[in-house]
Amino acid sequence: MKPLTIEQIELHLIEMPLVHPFETSFGRETVRPCILVSVASDGLIGWGECVAGSGPWYASETVQTAWHVLRDYLIGMVLGQPISAPQEVPELVARVRGHAMARAALENAIWDLVAQAQGVSLATLLGGTRAAVPVGVSVGLEPTIAALLAQVEGFVARGYQRVKLKIKPGQDVQLVRAVRERYPDLLLQVDANSAYTLADTAVFKELDAYQLLLIEQPLHHDDLVDHATLQHELHTPICLDESIQSPEHARWALQLGACRVINIKVGRVGGFTAAMAIHDLCAAQGVPVWCGGMLETNIGRAGNLALASTANFTLPGDISESVRYFAEDVALPNLTLNSDSTITVPDEGGLGVTLDAERLAAVRQQHLVVRASGA
Ligand code: SMG
Ligand code: MG
C-alpha cells in the first residue's frame, strides 16, 4: 500500500446520558463521557473511540488523562508521519508507557482509515472470518433481586441468549441463584471487577454449582498469582479482564494458570494490534477469548464487532445493542440484534458506521483540531 500521511487529527470529548444507571462493584454511572478521535488523510476520515471513563475506577485512565496524553504526546508522534500499515502505529508511540486507552483510540482510528483507503471492511483488514458474531448483555447491580430479574427478563425477551451479572461481596450467590432458578438454560456468567480476595474463596466454590460460563476478574485488578491459586480450586473457568493489560500479561497469565479464558478489550490492551496478538497467542494455546465492552458508542461497537469476527472469539461478546445504553447514538446505523443473539458485522469500507454531525455537536463538550505543519 502507498503510505498514508495523517494530515489532521481531532479530539471530540462527548457526554451521553445513559437510559438506565449502570452499577458495578466500583460504582454507579448515569452518564457516559468518552473521547472520539478522528484522523484525516487524502480526503478520508478514520474514527476511534477512547473508552477511558469519568474517573479512575475501572482503570487508572480517565477522559482527562487521555485528552492530556493524546494532545501533548501521542498526536505529535503520528501527525505528518507516513504510515503503510496500522501495525506501525505501536512503534511510533512506543515511548509512551501505559495510557493504553489513549493509544488505542488513535491507533484504531488509523485502522479505520487504512481499511477505507484499501476499500475493505475493518473486519476484513483484521482477518475476520464471521459475518455475524454471538453477543450477550451485561446487567449491572440493581437495588433488589426483583429489579434485577426484571432487567434480565427484558433482555431475554429482546433476544439475548447470554447474560452477564455484575457481582460484589454481599450481592453474589443469591443473585446468581435467583437468575439461574428462573432461567435454567440461560448462558450465564458473572463479573466481580476485582471486588474479592482469596479470603472469599468459599463464595466462588458456591458459585461453582451454577453452571456459569466463567467468573470474570474476581480478584485484585493487577493480580495474576492469586488468580492462579483460585483457579486451581474451581471447576468454573476464571476469565481475566483488568489484569490483562498487554500481550505479555496474557502470556504470563496462561503460563501461571491464572485463567482459562481471556476477555479482550481493545482499549485496555492499547489497540487492535495488541488485541490481535493476544487473540493469536490464545488461539495457539487453545484458550478461548471474547470481546469485552466499555459502554461504547456505535464507533467502538463497530470496532468490537470487527475484532470479534476473528476466529478465536468463540464466546459471546459484551457487544449489546447501543440502545441498551443510549437513546440516541452519535454514529449510525444502529447495530441491531438478530433473532439468534448475534449482531451482523458491518461489511462496508472501514468501521461501516458514520458520525451524525448534528448529534455529535449536540453532545460535544470539548473539541481540539491539530493540523500537520505544511498540510
Ligand atoms: O459495554 O456492555 C458494555 C459493558 C460491559 O460490563 C461491562 N463492562 O468490567 O467488563 C467490565 C465492564 C466495565 C465497564 S466500566 C465502564
Ligand atoms: Mg469485566
Distance between Cα 28 and ligand 1 center (Å): 12
Specify the CATH number for the domain of residue 305.
3.20.20.120
Q: Which amino acid is at 37?
A: V
Q: For a pocket test of ligand 1, which of 295, 297, 305 has the largest count of ligand atoms closer than 8 A to its C-beta?
A: 295
Percentage of residues in the chain having pLDDT higher than 70: 100
For residue 300, is pLDDT > 90?
A: yes
Quote the strand ranges of the chain, DSSP E: 4-5, 8-24, 27-41, 44-50, 82-83, 132-134, 137-139, 162-166, 187-191, 215-216, 238-240, 261-264, 289-291, 331-332, 342-344, 354-355, 364-371
CA distance 161 to 17: 26
CA distance 89 to 78: 8
* β-pairing verdict for 82-83 and 132-134: unpaired
Same domain, residue pair 80 and 18: yes
Percentage of residues in the chain having pLDDT higher than 90: 99
Domain membership of residue 350 (yes or no) is no
CA distance 347 to 204: 41
- For residue 104 and ligand 1, the question of a CB distance below 6 A is answered with no
Domain membership of residue 174 (yes or no) is yes
- For residue 293 and ligand 1, the question of a CB distance below 6 A is answered with yes
Is the peptide bond between 333 and the residue preceding it cis, with omega within 30 degrees of 0?
Answer: yes
Same domain, residue pair 163 and 101: no
Same domain, residue pair 95 and 145: no
Domain membership of residue 160 (yes or no) is yes
Q: Give mean pLDDT, residues 106-131.
A: 98
Same domain, residue pair 304 and 273: yes
Q: Which three cell numbers stand for residue 323?
A: 440502545
Domain membership of residue 351 (yes or no) is no
* Closest C-alpha residue for ligand 1 atom 7: 293
Range of the domain at 39: 4-119+356-371
Same domain, residue pair 233 and 271: yes
For residue 114, is pLDDT > 70?
A: yes
Among all bound ligands, the one having the nearest atom to the CA of 239 is 2
Q: Which three cell numbers stand for residue 324?
A: 441498551
CA distance 301 to 351: 9
- For residue 329 and ligand 1, the question of a CB distance below 6 A is answered with no
For residue 248, is pLDDT > 90?
A: yes
Which atom, in ligand 1's list, is nearest to the CA of 320?
2
- For residue 138 and ligand 1, the question of a CB distance below 6 A is answered with yes
pLDDT in tens, 32-63: 999 999 999 999 999 999 999 999 999 999 99
Distance between Cα 179 and ligand 1 center (Å): 19
b/e burial code for range 286-295 (CB count within 10 A of at least 16 → b)? ebbbbbbbbb
Domain membership of residue 349 (yes or no) is no
Helix (H) or strand (E) holding 284: helix 272-284
Same domain, residue pair 56 and 13: yes
Residue 1: band (very low, low, confident or very high) from pLDDT cuts 50, 70, 90: confident
Same domain, residue pair 177 and 32: no
Mean pLDDT rounded to a whole number for the chain: 97
CA distance 206 to 201: 9
Same domain, residue pair 104 and 195: no
Same domain, residue pair 294 and 364: no
* Torsion-angle region of 308 (φ positive above 0: left; ψ -120 to 50: alpha; else: beta): alpha
Same domain, residue pair 52 and 105: yes
Specify the CATH number for the domain of residue 103.
3.30.390.10
For residue 375, is pLDDT > 80?
A: no
Domain membership of residue 300 (yes or no) is yes
- Please count the helices (runs of H) and the strands (runs of E) in the chain: 14, 17
* Closest C-alpha residue for ligand 1 atom 12: 294
* Residues 148, 156 contacting (CB under 8 angstroms): no
pLDDT value for 77: 98
- For residue 318 and ligand 1, the question of a CB distance below 6 A is answered with yes
Q: Give mean pLDDT, residues 132-159.
A: 98
* β-pairing verdict for 354-355 and 4-5: unpaired
Q: Which amino acid is at 120?
A: V
Same domain, residue pair 189 and 333: yes
pLDDT value for 2: 87
Q: Which amino acid is at 314?
A: T
* Residues 160, 341 contacting (CB under 8 angstroms): yes
pLDDT in tens, 181-190: 999 999 999 9
Domain membership of residue 92 (yes or no) is yes
Catalytic residue positions, numbered: 166, 265
Q: Which three cell numbers stand for residue 51?
A: 473508552
CA distance 138 to 302: 17
Among all bound ligands, the one having the nearest atom to the CA of 140 is 1
Same domain, residue pair 107 and 167: no
Q: Which three cell numbers stand for residue 364?
A: 460535544
pLDDT value for 242: 98
Distance between Cα 374 and ligand 2 center (Å): 44
Q: What is the pTM of this model?
A: 0.98
Residue 225: band (very low, low, confident or very high) from pLDDT cuts 50, 70, 90: very high
Query: How many domains does the chain divide into?
Result: 2
Domain membership of residue 272 (yes or no) is yes
Q: For a pocket test of ligand 1, which of 19, 24, 51 has the largest count of ligand atoms closer than 8 A to its C-beta?
A: 24
